A and B are shown apart, each in its own frame.
Chain A
Amino acid sequence: MATGTLIHTKRKLPPCSAACPAHVNVQGYVSLIQRGKFREAVELIRKDMLFPAICGRVCFSPCEDACARVNLDQAVAIRALKRIVADIEREHGQVKPEPIPKTRTEKVAIIGAGPAGLTVAYELAKLGYPVTVFERMPEPGGMARYCIPDFRLEKFVVANEIAYIKDIGVEIKTGIEFGKDITLESLWNKGYKAVFVAIGMQLSRKMNVPGEDLEGVVHVLEFLRAVSLGQHVDVGERVAVIGGGNSAIDAARTAKRLGAREVMILYRRTRNEMPALPHEIEAAEGEEIKFHFLVAPKRIIGENGKVKAIGCIRMRLGEPDASGRRRPMPISFSEHQYEVDSIIPAIGQISERSCIPTELLDEKSRRGLIPVDPITMEARIPGVFAGGDIVTGPASIIQAVGAGKQAAVSIHRYLTGQDLKAGREEVEETTWVKDWESLGKKSRRYEAPIQKPRLSFEEVESFLEETKRKAMFEAFRCLGCGPCSECLAGVDLCEGDKAVVDESRCTGCNTCAIVCPFGAIEKNENEVAQVSEELCKGCGICAAHCPERAITMQRLTDENILSCALTALRRGDLP
């Protein structure tokens, strides 16, 4: 494969990549999947984002929400494609990456081995910094490891992704607690030049209702973490989960798997306002989890120190609040009870204030957030950066990755003495498609790959072949609506090929503008065709149609094609 550098530069991205907080080159890897280059596709994802298998499972996929194919039928199943390529790579035997040599001397400490921390570690390791990640829990992975239940994200998947980052030479020290075993002081003393704080939100928010300290009340993070750690958790027969977020759904589904006969979710607004992902809600419904909407807990009734029932009142929706959702208002004299054995409040998360140095904390923040510069991720102490949930409040893996990438740029600039803010690249969404009506594409919907039956003797290889085929079909649904994706999918051929107009021969007949699928050609003020560097994808259709043959391709010219054809002919002559 040729290694020529691409001729053009690009700041504009297709809608999917622009919507992704980590700006993963979606169009690029989908193109690679079209050509059946699965391994290259995973490598392309890893360039921007370390967790293809994790995000392929649990990402909330803003890329799919932005996908322009919805104008025709349905978004491309980007998340499923990502998962498929990551799984194919693993099943075929992942190649162990080479350690990246440490070319720099400035040590960087990262506190918290969650998605944000690991991303910073990865990005800085790529630049040659010696990076150490400190983690309190016995295993790295953060919320993805401990608070997403196995049925959504299996532990070995997380372990596999983290093995990759260890292999490239990032040191991860587990069992070390920030604020206790290490402090900012001790890190500076040990010679660390920069610190990235990504400790996340590790505590569940309390409901502040009477009876919350009774036996049988387990807060959501503590509950999920205990189950992840394999501890014995007895939830009894009937479980009430309070809240409408993803962790509430996770807790409810986990409780069901622990043997609870009846699991209900109590949420104070309606289904439309639930922050949980729609397909997660549907999955919970499929598992016969009951939803009680417009209900808020008022008190917990105990008997002999154990939970017996939860007393609730009904709510109605009032005016929209600051978050844009309609505020629930209590209805008086509507108190009622649900008999339950345990209660899992899942109404939000807060940080562990005790371990955060007071200078870093936002005093006004009730949740204990660390305020940072929104662009550079710089905290109030020079050399200290923060990102992830501890800055934004509970968010998603991909948002943490996005923050981590920004922070890594800042840390690199800080350590090399550059301006932190100058020339930070803003991405812009762009697509060449102006009129969806005239695109002439037939509607074709997503066909889910065949589910591999668990516990079957079906041959793995043929299953993979079938999945690959489905993935390639699905990838072909991508319209490639952004500019050239730099996927390097055709680079052995195109090398960033571009059309060039011989201005002396162009008569301004406009045929090229008509045939160009991407609207990349327009006549300029001299009535001469002009090719937009940004939009041209190097297909060469204009060159094949130019009536004056004034357009040539930079690399794959007609002469090249002809000489290839003639060489092929001569080869046929040989005995």
Chain B
Amino acid sequence: MSSGKPRIVCFMCNWVFCNETESAIHQEHQIPFDVNTVRVMCIGRIDPVVVLETFERGADGILLIGCTPPDCHFVEGNLHAEHVVKLLKKLLALTGLEPERLELRWSFPIEEVKFIQILTDFAAQIQKFGVSPLAGERPDEKVLLNVSAAKNATADFRLRVLTGREKELTENMNVYGEKISQEEFNALIDEIVKAEFIRHKIHLLTRQKPLSVKKLAVIIHMKPALVLRHIVDMRRKGMIALDRVEETTPLYRALEVQ
């Protein structure tokens, strides 16, 4: 944001993007910053990995714009996007980036005025947080590690399955005939988000060099017993292996997951 303009990437649903929206974007005086739009078929098309990678590469803010429910050309793509954004905000809170750097907003093709309002409001919101710690030549290494860990977590099976099935699990019954309430689900996902984030962080750390539980506990500010529990889980999943034992301390090394 050296030039004073926030670096914002705006993912947009193809169906909110009509001729009117396009001309609104090109009328520069209406918008106080460059809108860098990426069109996708449906806002539900946005993979959480793509969002986090964009943050990793230094975006100050990411705005997702979809069709106002209940209208969606793909029935409920906008609701899927809602689930994904909820997950991403939880992860961002853990990384040290402000969760408000990511927003999901609803629009409608012909409402250019509202559309411009959304963009200006978001720009103002990003301006408050300032430049992203990951922008520029020398990104903040701690935050970078966190965002990378979060990205890897969203690329992994567990979180993706849960976000994909959120509606099914909370509205219908699972295969055992149990119904999970929204509160239970939220509690569950909070717990899993934290666990997955830590595991992927451990994975990234031990990829650089083999580390002991104690060392890891210091780096990620966690009780060694808890770290060990994660390591046990990770070994079972084939994410990590014992590298060597130094004196009496075992050192762990990340395994490459395909």
Residues of A at the B interface (CB closer than 8 Å) are: 31, 34-37, 439-442, 444, 468-469, 472, 476, 479-480, 490, 493-494, 497, 509, 511-512, 514-515, 517-518, 537-541, 543-549, 556, 558, 561-562, 564-566, 568-569, 571-573, 575
Contact A480 B73, beta carbon cutoff 8 Å: yes
Task: Given A490-B14, A493-B14, answer yes or no on A556-B45 (Cβ-Cβ < 8 Å).
Answer: yes
- Write out the residue numbers on chain B whose beta carbons fall within 8 Å of the beta carbon of A556: 40-41, 45
Cβ-closest chain B residue relative to A562: B50
Contact present for A34 and B14 (CB under 8 Å): no
Contacts of A439 in B (CB 8 A): 75
- What's the nearest-Cβ distance from chain A to residue B223, in Å? 30
Contact check, B54 vs A440: say whether CB atoms are below 8 A apart. Answer: no
Separation of A469 and B14 alpha carbons in the complex (Å):
18
CB of B110 within 8 A of CB of A569, answer no
Tell me whether A562 and B53 are in contact (CB under 8 A): yes
Extra 11 A-B pairs, beta carbons < 8 Å, given A511-B160, A546-B160, A569-B9: A476-B67, A514-B168, A540-B44, A544-B48, A545-B80, A547-B157, A547-B160, A562-B54, A564-B38, A568-B37, A571-B36
Nearest CB in chain A: distance from B25 CB, A? 12
| A545 and B164 in contact, given A441-B70, A558-B49 (Cβ under 8 angstroms) | yes
CB pair A544 B80 closer than 8 Å? yes
Evaluate contact between A34 and B15: CB separation under 8 angstroms: yes
Q: Is the CB of B57 within 8 A of A569?
A: yes
Do B161 and A547 touch (CB < 8 A)?
A: yes
Measured CA separation A518–B76 after assembly (Å): 10
Report if B207 contacts A (CB, 8 A). Answer: no
Q: Is the CB of B110 within 8 A of A537?
A: no
Chain B nearest CB from A477 CB (Å) reads 8
The reply to whether A575 and B3 contact each other, CB–CB distance below 8 Å, is yes
Q: Does B7 contact A (CB under 8 A)?
A: yes
- Which 3 pairs, one residue from A and one from B, show the smallest C-beta to C-beta distance? A568-B36, A36-B18, A517-B75
Q: Please report the C-alpha to C-alpha distance between residue A544 and residue B59 in the assembled complex, in whole angstroms.
A: 21
Instruction: Collect the chain B residues with CB atoms within 8 Å of residue A544's CB.
Output: 44-48, 80, 84
Query: Can you list 30 contacts pairing A with B, beta carbon distance less than 8 Å?
Result: A35-B17, A36-B19, A472-B108, A472-B110, A476-B67, A480-B74, A497-B41, A509-B157, A509-B161, A517-B74, A539-B45, A539-B73, A540-B42, A541-B42, A544-B46, A545-B160, A545-B163, A547-B156, A549-B49, A561-B11, A565-B50, A565-B59, A566-B57, A568-B9, A569-B9, A569-B54, A571-B36, A572-B7, A572-B8, A573-B7
Which residues on A sit within 8 Å (CB–CB) of B15? Answer: 34-35, 490
Task: Return chain B residues, CB-CB under 8 Å to A537.
Answer: 74
> Once bound together, how far apart are the Cα atoms of A547 and B59, in whole Å?
25
| Distance in angstroms between the alpha carbons of A509 and B14 in the assembled complex | 29
CB closest residue in chain B, given A575: B3
In the complex, which residues 118-164 of chain B have their Cβ closer than 8 Å to any Cβ of chain A?
Answer: 155-158, 160-161, 163-164
With A36-B18, A440-B76: A543-B160 Cβ-Cβ less than 8 Å = no
Asked if B36 contacts A569 (CB within 8 A), the reply is: yes
Q: Using Cβ atoms and an 8 Å threshold, which residues of chain A touch B164?
A: 511-512, 514-515, 545, 547
- Nearest chain B residue, comparing its CB with the CB of A558: B47
Partner of B75, one of A518, A547, A549, A564: A518
Give the chain A neighbours of B37 by CB distance below 8 A: 568
Contacts of B158 in A (CB 8 A): 547
Most buried by A among B47, B75, B156: B75
Indicate if the CB atoms of A511 and B161 lie closer than 8 Å. Answer: yes
Given A34-B15, A490-B14, A565-B9: A479 and B38 within 8 A (CB)? no
Which residues of B lie under 8 Å from residue A440 when comparing CB positions? Answer: 70, 76, 79
Q: CB-CB < 8 A to B17: which residues of A?
A: 35
Which A-chain residue is minimally distant from B160 (CB atoms)?
A547
Q: What is the bound-complex CA distance between A494 and B73, given in angstroms?
A: 13
Return chain A residues, CB-CB under 8 Å to B156. Answer: 547
Return chain B residues, CB-CB under 8 Å to A545. Answer: 80, 160, 163-164
Task: Indicate which residue in A497, A509, A565 contacts B38 across the interface (CB closer than 8 Å).
Answer: A565
- Contact, CB under 8 Å: A561 / B41: no
Interface contact A511-B45, CB-CB below 8 Å: no
- B41 adjacent to A540 (CB under 8 Å): yes
Across-interface contacts of B233 in A (CB, < 8 A): none
Alpha-carbon separation in the docked complex, A216 to B26 (Å) = 67
CB closest chain-B residue, reference A35:
B18
- In the assembled complex, the Cα of A480 lies from the Cα of B41 at a distance in Å of 15
In the bound complex, residues from chain B placing their C-beta under 8 Å from that of A540 are 40-42, 44-45
- Could you tell me the distance between the alpha carbons of A129 and B168 in the complex, rounded to whole angstroms? 57
User: Assuming the A-B contacts A476-B71, A514-B165, A549-B155, are A34 and B109 also in contact, with contact meaning beta carbons closer than 8 angstroms in the complex?
Assistant: yes
Chain B: CB-nearest residue to A478:
B73
In angstroms, Cα B18 to Cα A469, docked, is 12
CB contact between A469 and one of B50, B71, B110 (< 8 Å): that residue: B110
**Is the CB–CB distance between A539 and B165 below 8 Å?**
no
How many angstroms between the C-alpha atoms of A36 and B17 in the bound complex? 9
The smallest C-beta distance from B151 to any residue of chain A, in angstroms, reads 11
The answer to the question of B34 belonging to the interface, with a C-beta cut-off of 8 Å to chain A, is: yes
Q: With A539-B42, A568-B37 given, is the CB distance from A36 to B109 under 8 Å?
A: yes
Return chain A residues, CB-CB under 8 Å to B18. Answer: 35-37, 472
What CA separation (Å) do A575 and B4 show in the bound complex?
A: 11
CA distance in complex: A144, B172 (Å): 54
Distance in angstroms between the alpha carbons of A517 and B72 in the assembled complex: 11
Contact A517 B57, CB 8 Å, known A469-B110, A565-B50: no
**Chain B residues closer than 8 Å to A441, beta-carbon distance:** 70, 75
Minimum Cβ distance to chain B for residue A42 (Å): 15
Across the two chains, which residue of chain A brings its CB closest to B155?
A549
Distance in angstroms from A39 CB to nearest chain B CB is 10
Taking CB atoms, residues of chain B closer than 8 Å to A571 are: 34, 36
Q: Nearest-CB distance from A89 to chain B (Å)?
A: 15
- The answer to whether A543 and B110 touch across the interface, beta carbons within 8 angstroms, is no
Q: Are B73 and A34 in contact (CB under 8 A)?
A: yes
What distance in Å separates the Cβ of A187 from its nearest Cβ neighbour in chain B? 48
B70 to chain A, nearest CB (A): 5
Q: If the complex has contacts A35-B18, A36-B19, A544-B84, are A494 and B165 also in contact, measured as CB distance less than 8 A? A: no
Q: Does B89 lie at the interface of the complex (its beta carbon under 8 Å from any beta carbon of A)?
A: no
Q: Say yes or no: is B20 at the interface (Cβ < 8 Å to chain A).
A: yes
A107, chain B: closest CB distance, angstroms: 43
Specify which chain A residues have a CB less than 8 angstroms from the CB of B48 in the assembled complex: 544
Residues in chain B near residue A35, CB distance under 8 A: 14-15, 17-18, 109
A558 to B54, CA, bound (A): 12
B5 at the interface (CB under 8 A from A): yes
* A31–B73 CB distance below 8 A: yes
Nearest CB on A from B152, distance (A): 12
C-alpha gap A556/B40 in the complex (Å): 8
B36, B41, B168: residue with the most chain A Cβ atoms closer than 10 Å: B41
Inter-chain contacts of B46 with A (CB < 8 A):
544, 561
Give the residues in chain A near B70, CB-CB below 8 Å.
440-442, 444
List chain B residues, Cβ under 8 A from A575. Answer: 3
Query: Nearest-CB distance from B234 to chain A (Å)?
Result: 18
Interface residues of B in 196-251 (CB under 8 A from A): none
Chain A residues near B80 (CB-CB < 8 A): 515, 541, 544-545
